Structure 1
Amino acid sequence: MQKEFLPPQLDLMRNAIDMDLIPYSDRGSRVMIFRDADNRFLIRLAERLARIDPGIEAYLKRPPFIDQLAIIDKNEAQLPYVLTWNPYGVRLETIAGDFYLLIDSSDRLVIGIPDGVQAGVRLRCNTGYYRETFQNGSQIPVRELSWRVKGSIFSQKSWQEDDSQWMEVLLLKGTDSAIALTIGEEHDNEDIPILSAATLLEDNQRRWQDWFARVPAVDSRFARPYTYACWNMANNLIRPKGNVLFEAMMPSKVKYVGLWLWDCAMHAVAFRHIDPELARKQIRAMLVWQLEDGMLPDAIFDDGIVSEIDFPIHAKVTKPPILAWAAWKIHEVAPDLEFIREIYPQLVRENHWWFNENDDDRDGIVQYSHPYSSGLDDNPLWDYGMPVESPDLNTYLCLQMNALAKMAEELGLDDEAKDWQQRSIILVDRMIEHLWDEKAGVFQFLHDHKTVPVLTPFNLFPLWTGILPDRICKRLVEHLRDPKEFWGNYCLPTV
């Protein structure tokens, strides 16, 4: 295989991750490949399978679908290797030559074998945990492993041990030989030809190079972490499947599998600088599942939608209303009036839902009815009971209505634009009336109209509105810059 040429960003990413902890995956893929303590490999899938394991964190305890995957020589002995990781693939340097682990566009793991070498793989498939479902009188495995080869087979074996199925395949010496593994429900990619490792490596490398070519420049002092972050953004994207109707970014393929409402908003704000259309898809991925009353779900999974939860209390659950703010951020960088026209009615409905369904005492201050709707899952602000009237939520709504005002103006809806702007100003006035604590110099959280005695950065959030009186701004900034409160070695602490 020809020597790899790495442009600057890809060069920075070489061996940037430890595959013992962070898997090799790729844009769009749900396949994750880790290395184990014995220098073999294991494969997990970025999916919940909630219909089988309904527990909210059950997928984190699921064993890998494939483990003990080893590269073997003609004598069926495991080959030692030196590993080099890159975003576009993994190279394994052995005495027999360079092997490659690559993910193709149909989500197959393609194992490239050096030319003129008789070699193959051995692996264990943990089929037992992937329970069987009954359909039309037959048992259907939830996930299946299939494999195909590019080249000629010298030998193949399979054998059963407990709930596991072992497989071993050796290929004859050849050119561009490869073994492709597929894990799935239906093997609809079996007719797709297997590319040679050299071609797939080149395609993957070119795709990543194109991605980084669109990334805005940054000061060289921050090049390495910045490049890593931009890689992570693309690497955590998944293709549409089930309820995920658009290419969208998971917070983590390993431990945070799914799409969350305000995560998607933040992802969109970041993607706008690289691929505005991809940024718009993050917004659409959540809006497409808007409920009839205007509420937006908290999370979207391949096989589930979370809009209600019973822990630590039973209530509807969503995330803070920042989708309109994020959408306008995209529009500022890459104007698209048709996109604004498409999403404006849904964002209006969501805004109405917050005021109509989350203000029990009808005082014009909106409340969190479930702690997880705040995005602050583990915070002492909720220890005194729910619902809680909060300055951060009402700040988000001010920002949202400002964004809606700009959208309405862009759409020629001048009266609506003025109304949104006025409502935003009124909400700031209500926060001052109901939540401002002159003695403490912060905006308080209230439960049953009593102060929640916890100080967090969220008590300062109304600063973000930009329209507070100077005297209030000054008091809030004093707290912000107090080293005994928030201005420590690391800003800003959560509590």
Structure 2
Amino acid sequence: MTGVAIPAASRAARFLDLVSAPFTLPGSRILVLRDRDGLPEALTVRLAEYEKPLDDCVLVRTLRVFDAEGAVARVSGVRPDRIEFGAAGVTLTFEGPDALSLGGDGGEWDAEIVLPDDERAVRFSSSAGAVRISATGISRIPRIVHDDALAATARIWDDWFVRTPAVRDDLADMTAFCWWVLGANIVSLPGRGARAVVPSKIGYVGLWQWDAYFIAAGLRHGDPELAKEQLDLAFAFPTADGQLPDVVHDEGILASSDDLPAGDRDTLRRAGSSIADPSAPIPLTKPPLAAWALRRLEGFVDDPVWFDAAWATVARSQEWWFAHSDLDGDGMPEYGHPYSSGLDDSPVFDAELPVASPDLAAYLILQDDLLAARAREVRDGAAASRHAERASRTLALLEAMWDEDAGYFRSSGAGVPVEAETAVSLLPLLTGRLRGGHVSGILDALDDPDRFATLWPVPTVARRDPSFSDERMWRGPVWVNVNALLVEGLAVSGHPARGRALAERTLRLVIDAGGPHEYFTPSTGRKAQTATTAFGWSAALFIDLAVAVSG
């Protein structure tokens, strides 16, 4: 555990560079970043909105501060609660979630602000007191308002950081930063009645179903109630037949291809995909890890009535997979759309849809096993038998996907075997029920430098596969959620030491790469070029793994 009394906020501040980690506030949509495309000493202020690029949501194009001599005052420090312009004695902080406050310590200073639709710079001086910046405009405010805003913003972050989970000394700095990421990514979704921890305010503003599950796994160690709120949102909008939506967002939910944003449709068209404009709506969801997430809150959340309702929702969603996503009627549900897998760009989806994939089979087996265990706990013997029997049937279908010659579980598209070897072939470990030969085959793949034993494991596509890419999303880069599932899979399949070794290597990856990025290159361990930063599930699962290895 941490032996040096360094406040978590100070640890997190070491990573706040205003590039990969913006200045923001829990519950706010406002982001302050360095103006990388313009003046190097300037800041820019953006809004985080669902399916809108930050460049389309500019509040302030450039903001610069000048000292008493008229020289540009560069940013001298960034803390969770303020940005400091040391030479001018000026600070920028939040005045609630919807506004920023810029003010000084009593000396002379000036600020120059350029609005998005105006080439003209507006000047403010210390004689004005302080400046409020919001979506409704820029106005002068008394200095006392700025001082109160500083104190209030500090209290918000102090209340957040006091919950930082305790971990080993060597993991404490990154854990504090990851805890900051989870707090920074909190937004309010209008009319939803709960706080969403979004994947990233830089690019992903909404509650994606399986992101919510992974994020809840990390939040439970410091804020179980907020973890519960993530599942509340994920479970709040099932369809009449039990399907859980892919995304809950500002304007509604994404549960069907009819709900896809225009940008997603355009991306699919550019890829030449027939599902850009399907002839009939395709359900959109995410992999069935709901029971996996719900189990993680047991012992952290004391709310039996809530658990009863949540387990009922999970049971209905499980029925949906078998009743409505077994698209060829063979007893094994398939992915009807790449988005429902979460692995949108994986080469398994270069095949014709629907795709039967070993990861989906593993998730369904695990979920039925967990539902059976829950049914036994509440003494519902009929439900326990039903779930257990279906899990065994699905396991038999999964075992039939093993290709003995290739040495891995093979996906199929529209009934045709898929050649690509990807991480989905490793995830059946998660069931804890594989035959010894299948476990040995997966361990061989993990140990093979031509397959998954890269410098920084585990790549999402085997290195020997023609579709492997060090950089391209889901076609080679390392993802923390895949590693975390494999850590668990190794443990439940009889190899806990190997699981712990992968956990330690994953923690080191995030530390060496400088933060919980969306995905990482397996050859260098750096952030992949197109990956976003301050990514929610990477941060949450870093915390979850750090707590586990620190125990």
Bin for the TM-score computed over the shorter chain:
0.7 to 0.9
1:24 alignment partner AA: F
Find the counterpart in structure 2 of residue 236 from structure 1.
185
1:86 alignment partner AA: R
Find the counterpart in structure 2 of residue 340 from structure 1.
307
Task: Report SS of the residue matched to 1:368.
Answer: coil
Task: Report SS of the residue matched to 1:290.
Answer: coil
Mean Cα displacement is larger for which, 450-459 or 64-73? 64-73
Q: Does 1:22 align with 2:13?
A: no
**Cα displacement (A) at 1:267:** 0.5
Change in Cα spacing, 1:215 to 1:422, as seen in structure 2 (3 Å) is farther
1:330-357 Cα offsets, whole Å, 9 max, x none, are 1143343122112122212211111111
1:75-131 Cα offsets, whole Å, 9 max, x none, are 9x564234200112111112x4x211111334210112222x35453322225xxxx
The answer on whether the counterparts of 1:261 and 1:299 sit within 8 Å (CA) in structure 2 is yes
The answer on whether the counterparts of 1:29 and 1:237 sit within 8 Å (CA) in structure 2 is yes
Mean Cα displacement is larger for which, 20-29 or 82-91? 20-29
1:216-243 Cα offsets, whole Å, 9 max, x none, are 221112222222111111111112325x
User: Number of paired residues?
Assistant: 434
Q: Does 1:390 align with 2:357?
A: yes
Task: Report SS of the residue matched to 2:53.
Answer: helix
Find the counterpart in structure 1 of residue 130 from structure 2.
178
**Cα displacement (A) at 1:465:** 0.4
After TM superposition, list the pairs within 5 Å mapping 1:167-316 onto structure 2. 167-172=122-127, 177-183=129-135, 196-241=145-190, 244-309=192-257, 310=265, 311=268, 312=273, 313=275, 314=278, 315-316=282-283
Gaps in structure 1 of 5+ consecutive residues: 1-5, 49-55, 128-160
Q: Does 1:124 align with 2:72?
A: no
The answer on whether the counterparts of 2:228 and 2:301 sit within 8 Å (CA) in structure 1 is no
Find the counterpart in structure 2 of residue 32 from structure 1.
31
RMSD, aligned CA: 2.7
Change in Cα spacing, 1:235 to 1:14, as seen in structure 2 (3 Å) is same
Task: Report SS of the residue matched to 1:65.
Answer: strand
Find the counterpart in structure 2 of residue 320 from structure 1.
287
Find the counterpart in structure 2 of residue 59 from structure 1.
53
**Cα displacement (A) at 1:195:** 6.1
1:260-299 Cα offsets, whole Å, 9 max, x none, are 1111111011111111110011111122122222222212
**Cα displacement (A) at 1:41:** 1.9
Find the counterpart in structure 2 of residue 113 from structure 1.
104
Find the counterpart in structure 2 of residue 152 from structure 1.
none
Find the counterpart in structure 1 of residue 399 from structure 2.
432
1:171-212 Cα offsets, whole Å, 9 max, x none, are 537xxx432222159x9xx9x999644443344334333323
1:488 alignment partner AA: T
Task: Report SS of the residue matched to 2:105.
Answer: coil
Gaps in structure 2 of 5+ consecutive residues: 258-264, 462-551
Hey, what's the Cα distance between the residues in 2 that align with 1:333 and 1:88?
Answer: 29
Find the counterpart in structure 1 of residue 9 from structure 2.
10
Find the counterpart in structure 1 of residue 46 from structure 2.
44
2:132 alignment partner AA: A
Task: Report SS of the residue matched to 2:166.
Answer: coil
Q: Does 1:441 align with 2:435?
A: no
Hey, what's the Cα distance between the residues in 2 that align with 1:412 and 1:113?
Answer: 65
Task: Report SS of the residue matched to 1:253.
Answer: coil
Hey, what's the Cα distance between the residues in 2 that align with 1:60 and 1:31?
Answer: 10
2:232 alignment partner AA: R
Task: Report SS of the residue matched to 2:160.
Answer: helix
Hey, what's the Cα distance between the residues in 2 that align with 1:440 and 1:184?
Answer: 61
Find the counterpart in structure 1 of residue 79 from structure 2.
86
**Cα displacement (A) at 1:11:** 2.0
Mean Cα displacement is larger for which, 473-482 or 25-34? 473-482
Mean Cα displacement is larger for which, 411-420 or 85-94? 411-420
1:285-325 Cα offsets, whole Å, 9 max, x none, are 12212222222221222124222335331332221111221
Hey, what's the Cα distance between the residues in 1 that align with 2:248 and 2:331?
Answer: 30
The answer on whether the counterparts of 1:251 and 1:259 sit within 8 Å (CA) in structure 2 is yes
1:233 alignment partner AA: L
Q: Does 1:358 align with 2:333?
A: no
**Cα displacement (A) at 1:165:** 7.1
Hey, what's the Cα distance between the residues in 1 that align with 2:403 and 2:149?
Answer: 62
Task: Report SS of the residue matched to 1:364.
Answer: coil
1:139-191 Cα offsets, whole Å, 9 max, x none, are xxxxxxxxxxxxxxxxxxxxxx4xx6754443537xxx432222159x9xx9x
Name the structure where strand makes up a greater proportion of residues: 1
Task: Report SS of the residue matched to 1:205.
Answer: helix
Hey, what's the Cα distance between the residues in 2 that align with 1:67 and 1:60?
Answer: 11
1:332-384 Cα offsets, whole Å, 9 max, x none, are 43343122112122212211111111112211111011112111111111112
1:283 alignment partner AA: L
1:345 alignment partner AA: A
The answer on whether the counterparts of 1:406 and 1:417 sit within 8 Å (CA) in structure 2 is yes
Hey, what's the Cα distance between the residues in 1 that align with 2:386 and 2:81?
Answer: 50
2:292 alignment partner AA: W
Bigger Rg, structure 1 or 2? 1
The answer on whether the counterparts of 1:89 and 1:201 sit within 8 Å (CA) in structure 2 is yes
Hey, what's the Cα distance between the residues in 1 that align with 2:95 and 2:377?
Answer: 42
2:127 alignment partner AA: L
The correspondence for 1:399, drawn from 363, 366, 371, is 366
**Cα displacement (A) at 1:62:** 1.5
Task: Report SS of the residue matched to 1:231.
Answer: helix
Hey, what's the Cα distance between the residues in 2 that align with 1:35 and 1:322?
Answer: 38
Change in Cα spacing, 1:240 to 1:308, as seen in structure 2 (3 Å) is closer
Q: TM-score, normalised by structure 2?
A: 0.73
The answer on whether the counterparts of 1:341 and 1:411 sit within 8 Å (CA) in structure 2 is no
Hey, what's the Cα distance between the residues in 2 that align with 1:299 and 1:446?
Answer: 26
Hey, what's the Cα distance between the residues in 2 that align with 1:82 and 1:255?
Answer: 25
The answer on whether the counterparts of 1:180 and 1:194 sit within 8 Å (CA) in structure 2 is no
Name the structure where helix makes up a greater proportion of residues: 2
Task: Report SS of the residue matched to 2:352.
Answer: coil
Hey, what's the Cα distance between the residues in 1 that align with 2:302 and 2:368?
Answer: 19
1:31-81 Cα offsets, whole Å, 9 max, x none, are 001122342221100013xxxxxxx5x524416221222235679x56423
1:379-426 Cα offsets, whole Å, 9 max, x none, are 111112111111101111112222222333444434323322232222
